[in-house]
Structure 1
Amino acid sequence: MNLVQPIREKDIIDEIKKHLRNENKRNYIMFMIGINTGLRISDILQLRVRDVEGWYISLRTKKRNKYVRIKMPKNLKKELREYIKDKPKDEYLVKSRVGKNKPISRSMAYVILNDVAREYGLESIGTHSLRKTFGYHIYQKEKDVAALQEMFNHEDPKYTLRYIGINQDNLDSMMSRFGL
């Protein structure tokens, strides 16, 4: 199993957002939800218009069968408001072009993200990269590992730091200063 990484550089994130917004709104919305909420891709793909009409995303997670409520940042809410305008309440947000009203598959989400990663020279990117990107940047801003640990439902803060790539950054930094 390959270990995927967060997208650490804010300027790369901004470029990806601009690219996806111009190329494919559905893929843009999937990316925006992922990097702004920390939801797993399996939960993002199950979201429907009715789930994002207010200021909160409320859902029962697929992996842990646990109820979560996430307040959306203003930038995400604005993008979603525009995206869902005139869409039926039961329509999936990340809707497949195949079938009547089905979400894209997890493997298709992986393909979409890897195409973008390749275009921007990013390595070790997968569907969990969206969740890890959220965690990485909120940690950099807030330095609150306990809150992230709770959001991600992790048992140990050490696991959370490893998951979002902070431990790897520390090791990389140490090794870049080292030399015999």
Structure 2
Amino acid sequence: MEYVAPIKDIRKIRLMKQVIKKKSSRDFLLFVMGINTGLRIGELLELKVRDVMEPDGNFRLYLDSPKEKKQIIYLNDQVRRALQHHFQLQVPSLNRFLFQSSRGDHCITRQQAYRIINDAAKQVGITERVGTHTLRKTFGYHAYIRGIAISLIQRRFNQATPSDTLKYIGIDKTEPQKIDVNL
């Protein structure tokens, strides 16, 4: 597996959102959920509509993490707005995949997710290598920069040590870290 970088520049993230949103609400939702939840691409692609929406049509505030991790994933305002945008025309069956393929009753592939992310990154001028792990790394990087303890990010990512997590999210321990307290 080749190393891919997080998207550190907030302006590039906003530009990617614009580019992807113009193309597809499903792809926009994938990008927004990826950078706001820190879930692995496989976990995202396995999600069904019922995982994010109640039977009455309201969006959930929390997503139970897949697998054995038993973490609760907060669906923030950005994710809920992306969900609302995606489902503005019609609400599909709760049993459909959230990231349903247009070519059948299955989810999009990891390769398709890679193309979505990579194409948008190229369009906005990102020169670093990006891929599906970029979404997860972007989540971790910005959580850390905003003051979330590395131990919490480490636990979310199920990694062995804080130094593994710092390396994974593209933080160089030798460079000075900006502390931004805005009370």
The TM-score range, normalised by the shorter chain, is 0.7 to 0.9
Structure 2 gaps of 5+ residues are: 54-59, 177-183
Q: Deviations over 1:70-109 (max 9, x none)?
A: 111122112213423522101111111111x210011111
The reply to whether residue 67 of structure 1 matches residue 70 of structure 2 is: yes
Q: 1:57: which partner in 2? A: 63
Structure 1 gaps of 5+ residues are: 172-180
- Indicate how the Cα distance of structure 1 residues 67 and 143 shifts in structure 2: closer, same or farther if over 3 A, else same: closer
- Indicate how the Cα distance of structure 1 residues 77 and 137 shifts in structure 2: closer, same or farther if over 3 A, else same: same
Structure with a larger share of its residues in helix = 1
Structure 2 counterpart of 1:55, one-letter code? L
Pick one of 92, 104, 108 that aligns with 1:104.
108
Alignment of 1:158-173 (within 5 A): 158-167=163-172, 170=175
In 2, Cα distance between equivalents of 1:143 and 1:92: 31
Structure 2 counterpart of 1:93, one-letter code? L
The reply to whether residue 24 of structure 1 matches residue 20 of structure 2 is: no
Q: Deviations over 1:4-30 (max 9, x none)?
A: 000000011011111211211111000
* Aligned-pair Cα RMSD in Å: 1.8
Q: 1:128: which partner in 2? A: 133
Pick one of 74, 79, 101 that aligns with 1:76.
79
* Equivalent residues of 2:28, 2:82 under 8 A apart: no
Q: 2:118: which partner in 1? A: 114
